Structure 1
Amino acid sequence: MNLAQLLVRSARVFPTAPALFRHTTLIADYRGLATRSARIAGGLTDGLRLKPGDRVGLFMDNCPEYLEALYGIWFAGLVAVPINAKLHPREALFVLQDSGALALFVSEALSTDLMALLRGAPALRHLLIPGRDEYLKLLASEAVTEPLHRAPDDLAWLFYTSGTTGRPKGVMLSHRNLFAMTTCYFTDVDQVAPQDVMVYSAPISHGAGLYNSAHVLAAARHVVPESGHFDPEELVALSRHHGRLAMFAAPTMVKRLVDHVAQSGSDPAGFRTIVYGGGPMYAEDIRRALDVMGDRFVQIYGQGESPMTITALSRAHLADRHHPRYDQRIASVGVAQSLVEVRVGDAEGRPIAAGEVGEVLVRGETVMQGYWQNPEATAATLRNGWLFTGDVGSLDDDGFLALKDRSKDVIISGGSNIYPREVEEVLLRHPGVAEVSVIGRRHPEWGEVVVAFVVGRPGVSPSEAELDALCLEQIARFKRPKAYRFVAALPKNNYGKVLKTELRQLDQGLGA
């Protein structure tokens, strides 16, 4: 069981099918992509003397070489260690040190600052920069004839968490895990045909890159935009050129794309499927997205520890506007994907009744093996066969999961739980509010009080009184913000998630 077999299969069955594009330029068909990856594998094993199970880092901007290098790593029975290209070199160095990576594929633009620090990663022996001599030697190597056989539970992908509560942890994902994730794509997210086009406008090192496997299996096309990142105008142009565009995007990206389509009057017909996840999508935002771009959306909920595969809210559910519980469903993250079980439990993991709020738990073939060289964190997160996600939510009688917040973001005021998302959903109903994020502030009497950071729409300035009145119409008085911070933008990581830790620091700095 080796993920590289997906590429081998498509190369044999559809050898001349277009596989890899830079923007609109064809780089390789499936036979060519498989050959390049097999040569990279030969170079890694015969030339660099890497052995099965050795770790190889990928610290690259989105580029066509990313996919050929990734499959080359798997061909050789090695372990891919994707590193977010937006990380500081010192953060990347920690991942290299912790994983014990022996080789690193790195973009030239990222290599300069990193090279000065590499004395801190003594295990790392090889820098492989696309276009440079060592990389070209790999491509000139003798190709391996077949992907190295791997056991189902052999490590394939060592993904480091964002580290918002401390040092990043290495999530160990096996070939079995990623095969199961790929199967869930076809059963719960979307069908794929060879004419479909997966465009990588979100980081390949994250969820967007993991979805390559479903599209490789279907011999579909893979497109890396010229910019290498998310640009709404560029995506619209690609949708016109290629058609049948599929993509994975964080909710903030979806919102920007929808705004661009609405403002420019662009035809969204070239977009086939937009899968969104990785953060909260507010009900008002998905309503507008559906109104502007039509029934092209699917929501998934997952995390690095169960990649892309906890729940899904299907295209059909989002399109079923006449369902009596439609409002509740579009505010949810859908139902359990086919190869996992989802439970909302108490602190011990025992199931609780429908409608009650607890921690989201998941078990199944997609759940990680554990954290790399971190048995304490593994034991705390994997208990009795269940992954404790750290997310808080509730299940309804139909099995739809409504997420509240990360457990660490829940605000406890006067002994009552307040879920920031509930307050945020209300504030977003004000026509002058573009974005909002709610945090808790320590309070000597109440424990915590609610503070809302608000980004206004251009030319519109919602007043505190208006926002207060809106909250008092919709939610209990104790839940309304006790303070509003009007800001030009919310701090976000490179994947579009709001950094509430920075908001808490900013709130402290501004004073009460």
Structure 2
Amino acid sequence: MTSFSQTSDGAASAVSASFLDPRAANHVALTPLDFLRRSAEVYPDKIAVVLGDRRLTYRDFHRRAASLAGALRSLGVVPGETVAVLAPNVPVMLEAHFGVPAAGAVLNALNTRLDAPSMAFMLDHGEARVLIVHHSLLPVALDALAATRRPPILVVEGADEAPPAGALAYEDLLRSSPGPVWSPPPEEWTSIALNYTSGTTGDPKGVLYHHRGAYLNALGNVITFNLQPDSVYLWTLPMFHCNGWTYPWAVTSVGARHICLPAIDPAEIFRLIDEEKVTHLCAAPVVLTMLIHAPREVQRRFTHGRVRVATGGAAPPSAVIAGMEELGFDLVHLYGMTECYGPSTACAPQEGWSDLPLDERSVLTARQGVRNLTVSDQSVIDPDTDREVPADGATLGELVLRGNTVMKGYLKNEAATEATLRGGWLRTGDLAVLHPDRYVEIKDRSKDIIISGGENISSLEVEEVLFRHPAVMEAAVVARPDEKWGETPCAFVTLKPGVEPPSGEEIIAFCRAGLAHFKAPKTVIFGALPKTSTGKIMKTELRARAAELAS
């Protein structure tokens, strides 16, 4: 028998012998492309994608994505180039999530709610070689193309009439594909997607994802959300938003069913859940509010069981949790951002929580929770010392993340990349506390903290109380400049339809009954709340309004 030993001069040990180096048989780059390839092999005749009366099997899904990859190659797209897609939640968007990377290209899913100048900036900055557009968005796409420095090849999907001069029809392109292409990445660090941040200050930043991160984050979602082969997933979350939180890849990985929803409509959501037997969906808080306040005649009771809902953003108030549970939904609270592929933490339930009264349970489930299985580390640190804050549920710090599901960086922006990833952490910019059980709880964005008379006031804490008022449907709290206190809370409130409108004084009194008095709003403004293209409340605009009130 041959023996190996570590020698005193540092020669390699047996486990480091060169013949044990990675090779093709035991080292393959991780990529979500494997998910569709496997599901097409295992479930070829299973329905994979639904849009209205249209049904695609996993065999169809894989064939069309591979044909798209071949067609892109025939258009001259080479590995590493960008292919942009502007489409609602329709099958072409799912096909692009596999067909574009299968061609070796980088997918840039454009926000469908942006204006033409914003789209033009992204097309130029990302150097898109091809732009695939759903026919319903062709007017804004043409305006954007007119403003680009180097217009990409235009491909139009779904139109009954011929595409504009010089453009190609998507189905014709697939039919003319020289053959299927399915090219896995040479290494898992290869870029798979480019996503632009909302750009509330300055130009938006282009966040680059790699195949490894997309693969792992998708599987983290599978585990966290308990997706199974018999799951039915409704697309209430835009696929352009962090690649649909990587759910195009996650749902496909287990061979579950995608139900496409091109536009948010509460009546259609209830209908599809009931008739398609939907088991899972993801949604921004604004969608939850729409479902709770939908007319009774469109709400339905689900006979196939309860529906799991993953939501991000601010913690759902207890009134929203109660309203959703009454309708047959069970909420899972997530946290994430574009820079970490969407969801990175979840409020994992513990034994006994479900038996608690709603108010007690809401306090626990409102927390952003613990890191997903595929995230390596999560902490809350003092931004001045980079040391972890005490796990006392009170000391504020910055939430930081580390792992394989953190972005590669910002395209063409080294300074911002270095600043955001400095010190071995993804700096989220969110202020949080660390509880004794290691669950994190977001208290505010650092820019949203209100400092009144030297005291920190969490806008989220005030909003939670406002949501308890029976007449309040939506609320947002920002700082209003104040000569005496520096800043005071200013509440912007949208009332529920048909209620007797309370006065601002009544709202303030309600808040003072549930908060320390200095935390209660000093000003209340009624009306609709401005929102970004992804449904987030635009606090930047509200802060500007509050500043005008003070001037």
TM range (shorter): over 0.9
The whole-number CA distance in structure 2 between the counterparts of 1:60 and 1:11 is 24
Query: How far does the alpha carbon of each residue in 1:310-347 deviate from its partner, in whole angstroms, 9 at most, with x for none?
Result: 21124667962328963421221222211222111111
**Partner residue of 1:200 out of 215, 229, 235:** 235
1:344 maps to a residue whose letter is V
Query: How far does the alpha carbon of each residue in 1:272-313 deviate from its partner, in whole angstroms, 9 at most, with x for none?
Result: 32111144422331233223325x221211000112332112
In the TM superposition, residue 134 of structure 1 has moved relative to its aligned partner by: 4.2
Distance change >3 Å, CA 362–CA 261, structure 1 → 2: farther
The whole-number CA distance in structure 2 between the counterparts of 1:9 and 1:255 is 38
In the TM superposition, residue 162 of structure 1 has moved relative to its aligned partner by: 0.5
Aligned-pair Cα RMSD in Å:
2.2
Query: How far does the alpha carbon of each residue in 1:413-460 deviate from its partner, in whole angstroms, 9 at most, with x for none?
Result: 122111101111112222122221101012233221111112223222
Equivalent residue number for residue 516 of structure 2:
476
Query: Could you say what secondary structure the match of 1:423 adopts?
Result: helix
In the TM superposition, residue 395 of structure 1 has moved relative to its aligned partner by: 1.5
1:28-427 equivalent positions in 2, closer than 5 A: 28-45=56-73, 47-131=74-158, 132=163, 133-140=168-175, 141-193=177-229, 195-207=230-242, 208=244, 210-225=246-261, 228-260=262-294, 264=298, 266-270=300-304, 272-294=307-329, 296-314=330-348, 320-322=354-356, 326-340=361-375, 341-348=377-384, 349-354=386-391, 355=393, 356-427=395-466
1:482 maps to a residue whose letter is K
Q: Give 5+ residue unaligned stretches, structure 1.
A: none
In the TM superposition, residue 43 of structure 1 has moved relative to its aligned partner by: 1.0
Query: Could you say what secondary structure the match of 2:529 adopts?
Result: coil
1:375 maps to a residue whose letter is E
Distance change >3 Å, CA 24–CA 353, structure 1 → 2: farther
Equivalent residue number for residue 460 of structure 1:
500
Query: How far does the alpha carbon of each residue in 1:351-376 deviate from its partner, in whole angstroms, 9 at most, with x for none?
Result: 11012111111111111111111111
The whole-number CA distance in structure 2 between the counterparts of 1:24 and 1:251 is 29
Distance change >3 Å, CA 472–CA 166, structure 1 → 2: same
TM-score (norm 1): 0.93
**Structure 1 range deviating more: 238-247 or 34-43:** 238-247
2:513 maps to a residue whose letter is E
The whole-number CA distance in structure 2 between the counterparts of 1:426 and 1:439 is 14
The whole-number CA distance in structure 2 between the counterparts of 1:258 and 1:278 is 18
Distance change >3 Å, CA 366–CA 90, structure 1 → 2: same
2:71 maps to a residue whose letter is G
Checking the alignment, whether the CA contact within 8 Å between 1:434 and 1:455 is kept in structure 2 is yes
Checking the alignment, whether the CA contact within 8 Å between 2:67 and 2:174 is kept in structure 1 is yes
The whole-number CA distance in structure 1 between the counterparts of 2:117 and 2:233 is 32
The whole-number CA distance in structure 2 between the counterparts of 1:119 and 1:258 is 42
Checking the alignment, whether the CA contact within 8 Å between 2:207 and 2:407 is kept in structure 1 is yes
Equivalent residue number for residue 496 of structure 1:
535
The whole-number CA distance in structure 2 between the counterparts of 1:171 and 1:317 is 38
Query: Could you say what secondary structure the match of 2:157 adopts?
Result: coil
Checking the alignment, whether the CA contact within 8 Å between 1:201 and 1:231 is kept in structure 2 is no
Checking the alignment, whether the CA contact within 8 Å between 2:245 and 2:342 is kept in structure 1 is no
**Structure 1 range deviating more: 492-501 or 252-261:** 252-261
2:195 maps to a residue whose letter is F
* Residue correspondences, number: 505
Taking only the aligned residue pairs, the percentage that are identical comes to 33
